[in-house]
Structure 1
Amino acid sequence: MKPSTTPGASTTTRRPLTRRAFGAGLAGTAATAGLAACGGGDGGSGTAEGGSALRFTWWGSDARHEATERALDAFRAEHPDITVSGEFTEWSGYWDRLATTVAANDAPDVIQMDVLQLRSYGDRGALLDLADAGIDTSGIPSDTLSTGRTDDGLFAVPVGVNAHVIVANPALFEAAGVPLPDDTAWTWQEAADIALRISQSGQPGVHGWQTMGLDEASLQLWVSQLGGEFYGDGTEVTLDPAHVASWWEYNLGTIQSGAAAPATVAVERQAAGLSQSGTATNTAAMAVWWANQVTALSSAAGQEMVLLRPPLQEAGGAPGVFYKASMFWSISSRTESPEAAATLVDWLTNSPEAAEILLTERGIPSNPELREQIAPLLQPSDAQSVEYVESLEDVVVPAPPAAPPGASTVQDLVNRYGSEVLFGRQTPQAAAEAMVAELQSNVSSA
């Protein structure tokens, strides 16, 4: 692909996009071909009625879809010369569909992007460098904005930020006669001891802890606290098997002691999703989540939750928490309307009207000024998550670098090898070594 000469676009030369690069997505064509585009506009990119026509794709629930369409209606009213057609799916089909359209040179103009996929698309030239695209990023803190960068440029603008949190059910603590912990100083061992007391309190079906041994996001936190990382600057997997093994040993210990539910329950909950989790069903007093999930959890449980900082590896240890970009806005490098696409991304990023419509649907706004603006409009649980995230400003560490191509398989690997560990079919160390080796193989061959 030739360097872009479009006004507002980068002139950086990147490796050409090939069909092979996105071949994995072609396997999902049959499954996703029937997914229809939704939203206003007449579809397609280019010029329409003297203006521009954009396609905009995102994943999410019906609630996100409805909020996004309301935001797009407001954008269309403000920019009548830009037609926007929305395309949305659930997470499960989103990436297959996107890979197929990119490989066919038919990518949507504006793309909702995830950190695990950013380099897979950015490194292969599928995304526009946004550094000079005319998008105002001055309101986004530099550390947050850097999460959308790779060595080749700024390929994504962070929509919002998130952070690890322990969501605790105060009603289950009270029923067990156990006080909430001091979350500024507690350790993982103390958390396990507290969980065991709750499990032994006699509440039917209730355990103190929800096993996190199948969840890659929880492993991220654990590894960060130990001073490790998953990936280096290139395509090297730097994840230490010893860190993974210690994490599985902890989780296996909580199951064996009774502090957490049996492995069969953990696997069922992992497959069922948030609504069937121990937190949502009032059967786990504590669990690791992302801060912006508290509203959905509280609603499902019919119970107000308390947000606690994660435990430490040892007294006085490093908290290891970081601000994760909840998701990003990216623009296709093949868009025929780069200026219009940049106008839409800029509006979604900076418009007070957009912020008031979308609220925390895609995470806590990355622009602190917009957070302050929407604060009076938030539900108490959303306001609680914003307050929690902002309370971490003095302890957060830099976010991990974007995952290399091929690393999007990591959650599947954690789930598969974690199941082997929790059911006693592999030792934590053996499973950790095999998982890291397979992850490296996936990255190396991507």
Structure 2
Amino acid sequence: MVVAATGALVLALTSCSGSGDSGDVVELRFSWWGSDERHANLQEVIEVFEAENPGIRVSPDYTDWDAYWDRLATGVAADDAPDVIMQDESYLTEYADRGALADLSTLEGLDLSSLDPLVAESGMVDGALYGAPTGVNASAMLADPEAFAEAGVQMPDDTTWTWDDYVEISIEISEATDGEIVGTQGLTNENAFHIFVRQHGENLFDEDGEIAFTEQTLQAWYELTDRLLEGGGQPDASQSVEIAAGGPDQSVLATNTGATAHFWSNQLGAVAQASGRDIELLRFPGETENERTGTYFKPAMYYSVSAGTDHPQEAAGFVDFLLNSGEVGEIVLADLGLPANTQVREQIMSDLPEAETRGADFLADIEGEIVDGNPPPPVGSGEIVDINRRAYQEFSFGNLTAREAAEQFVSELRTAVDSGT
């Protein structure tokens, strides 16, 4: 069994550690972001690990997405980085180039042989492996059938619906319920825009790390929001800011106040649990409007090890446990994406709750429609989250036109990427 082998491996590492902590408990710090459910699950994982490895203590260091990157940047700058770090694709290259991450392929006690070959090397930067993928997921439109039923609106056919359909359906739901249920949370982040540009034959970045979409495409994207705001199909600007700050647990789906919202597929379980309803996964609108689809598979997130850790063997052993333990898989299930370890993935399939089983089925359904993946994002690309937030909020409050918002977004993103090179 995978978990038994992993525990034995880490115990062996602990007993022969060259970290200078002979006879003492080794202290590791593990950082991550996410929902309340993820926090609870990963703390349970830590308890299991510590029970099997009494020579190691793991201190949890977690927060929400927004605060996470400020805290990590401060810690790295102060030479106080966590030993084991959850990383995102947008920031992996940046932290690798800063010398903040260890090359996982050089660490003893970390077995990566069972990772899905489709994503196993996705954490490589300039020939070194700086991130081990936790799992795979895809961006999707989540929908609440009960909200549609309350509004008397039929659920869309996600194999054919268009962006015009999405806008019109959202407005129809809001109007039918006098605003008690909004049609959609809105197109608030860059992940959905990424699919939109791919549908138009563009991308966020090209192989050289250059911006690979036009201002005209981004303007068309903002104009969808303009129609939603004008028709009342999404919350107004002030409400949108408040909802976004609350994360998945405060989304319109989780609070039963909206019919659709876009999330990563691995977030289905958390959103469904918070809502108390059977939330469904839908393909994004527009997948059949143009010559190609825009959806892609993404490593959900990565585990990295700090280059400055005092305990590289123990940190590697903990990452090995996170990736290869069947018991970890049974606790976390698909919250970090369908496990990248294919053996663990197979082991947990029958244990997945209904929502996460549907997430796995959704990925299987769309796999044949995926055209390609994406080039590694350049250094500075992680700024896109804040850049988008500023432009989107200025636009939704009426301070910028769609064209002006697109110009601001592209200008700030180009500056961020250029300054990172």
- TM-score under structure 1 length normalisation: 0.82
Aligned residues of 1:52 and 1:337 also touching (Cα < 8 A):
no
Q: 1:354-393, aligned counterparts within 5 Å?
A: 354-393=328-367
Task: Name stretches of at least 5 consecutive residues in structure 2 with no aligned partner.
Answer: 1-13
- Over the residues paired in the alignment, what is the CA RMSD in angstroms? 2.6
Q: Residues 209 and 106 from structure 1, CA distance in 2 versus in 1: closer, same or farther, beyond 3 angstroms?
A: closer
Q: Which residue of 2 aligns with 1:102?
A: 76
**Partner Cα distance (1:392, 1:354) in 2:** 27
1:403 corresponds, among 374, 377, 400, to 377
Q: 1:159-308, aligned counterparts within 5 Å?
A: 159-212=134-187, 214-308=188-282
**Amino acid in the other structure paired with 1:238:** A
Q: Structure 1, residues 273-300: CA drift from partner, whole Å, max 9, x if none?
A: 3233222222221221111222222233
**1:93 Cα offset (Å):** 3.7
**1:345 Cα offset (Å):** 1.4
Aligned residues of 2:46 and 2:58 also touching (Cα < 8 A):
no
Aligned residues of 1:196 and 1:257 also touching (Cα < 8 A):
yes
1:139 corresponds, among 114, 124, 128, to 114
**Partner Cα distance (1:177, 1:151) in 2:** 54
**1:235 Cα offset (Å):** 4.7
Q: Which residue of 1 aligns with 2:8?
A: none
Aligned residues of 1:54 and 1:110 also touching (Cα < 8 A):
no
Q: Which moved more, 1:356-365 or 1:181-190?
A: 356-365
Q: Which residue of 1 aligns with 2:95?
A: 121
Aligned residues of 1:57 and 1:111 also touching (Cα < 8 A):
yes
Q: Which residue of 2 aligns with 1:439?
A: 413
SS at match of 1:144: coil
Percent identity between matched residues is 35
**Amino acid in the other structure paired with 1:55:** L
**1:170 Cα offset (Å):** 0.8
Aligned residues of 1:322 and 1:397 also touching (Cα < 8 A):
yes
**1:234 Cα offset (Å):** 4.4
**Amino acid in the other structure paired with 1:130:** L
SS at match of 1:48: coil
1:154 corresponds, among 129, 132, 143, to 129
SS at match of 1:165: strand
Q: Which residue of 2 aligns with 1:36?
A: none
**Amino acid in the other structure paired with 1:83:** I
SS at match of 1:147: coil
Q: Residues 51 and 350 from structure 1, CA distance in 2 versus in 1: closer, same or farther, beyond 3 angstroms?
A: farther
**Amino acid in the other structure paired with 2:244:** Q
Aligned residues of 2:269 and 2:335 also touching (Cα < 8 A):
no
**Partner Cα distance (2:275, 2:190) in 1:** 24
Q: Which residue of 1 aligns with 2:11?
A: none
**Partner Cα distance (2:371, 2:23) in 1:** 48
**Partner Cα distance (1:358, 1:276) in 2:** 21
Task: Name stretches of at least 5 consecutive residues in structure 1 with no aligned partner.
Answer: 1-40
**Amino acid in the other structure paired with 2:200:** L
SS at match of 2:304: strand
**Partner Cα distance (1:381, 1:314) in 2:** 26
**Partner Cα distance (2:380, 2:227) in 1:** 31
**Partner Cα distance (2:29, 2:230) in 1:** 48
Q: Which residue of 1 aligns with 2:4?
A: none
1:85 partnered with 2:19 = no
Q: Which residue of 2 aligns with 1:53?
A: 26
Aligned residues of 2:101 and 2:304 also touching (Cα < 8 A):
yes
Structure having the higher helix fraction is: 2
SS at match of 2:262: strand
**Amino acid in the other structure paired with 2:57:** V
Aligned residues of 1:123 and 1:152 also touching (Cα < 8 A):
no
Q: Residues 333 and 181 from structure 1, CA distance in 2 versus in 1: closer, same or farther, beyond 3 angstroms?
A: same
Q: Which has the higher contact order (CA 8 A, sep 6+)?
A: 2
**Partner Cα distance (1:250, 1:94) in 2:** 30
1:427 corresponds, among 397, 401, 419, to 401
**Partner Cα distance (1:240, 1:315) in 2:** 19
**Partner Cα distance (2:73, 2:170) in 1:** 43
Q: Residues 232 and 377 from structure 1, CA distance in 2 versus in 1: closer, same or farther, beyond 3 angstroms?
A: same
Q: Structure 1, residues 188-237: CA drift from partner, whole Å, max 9, x if none?
A: 1122222233233245522222211x312221221222222222344533
**Amino acid in the other structure paired with 1:272:** G
**1:52 Cα offset (Å):** 7.8
**1:95 Cα offset (Å):** 2.8
Aligned residues of 1:167 and 1:288 also touching (Cα < 8 A):
yes
**Amino acid in the other structure paired with 1:95:** W
**Partner Cα distance (2:404, 2:419) in 1:** 23
Q: Residues 259 and 165 from structure 1, CA distance in 2 versus in 1: closer, same or farther, beyond 3 angstroms?
A: same
Q: Which moved more, 1:85-94 or 1:49-58?
A: 49-58
Q: Which residue of 2 aligns with 1:17?
A: none
Q: Residues 83 and 187 from structure 1, CA distance in 2 versus in 1: closer, same or farther, beyond 3 angstroms?
A: same
**Partner Cα distance (2:127, 2:23) in 1:** 34
**1:303 Cα offset (Å):** 1.9
**Partner Cα distance (2:85, 2:166) in 1:** 40
**1:441 Cα offset (Å):** 1.0
**1:62 Cα offset (Å):** 4.8
**1:55 Cα offset (Å):** 1.6
Aligned residues of 2:50 and 2:58 also touching (Cα < 8 A):
no
Q: Residues 79 and 202 from structure 1, CA distance in 2 versus in 1: closer, same or farther, beyond 3 angstroms?
A: closer
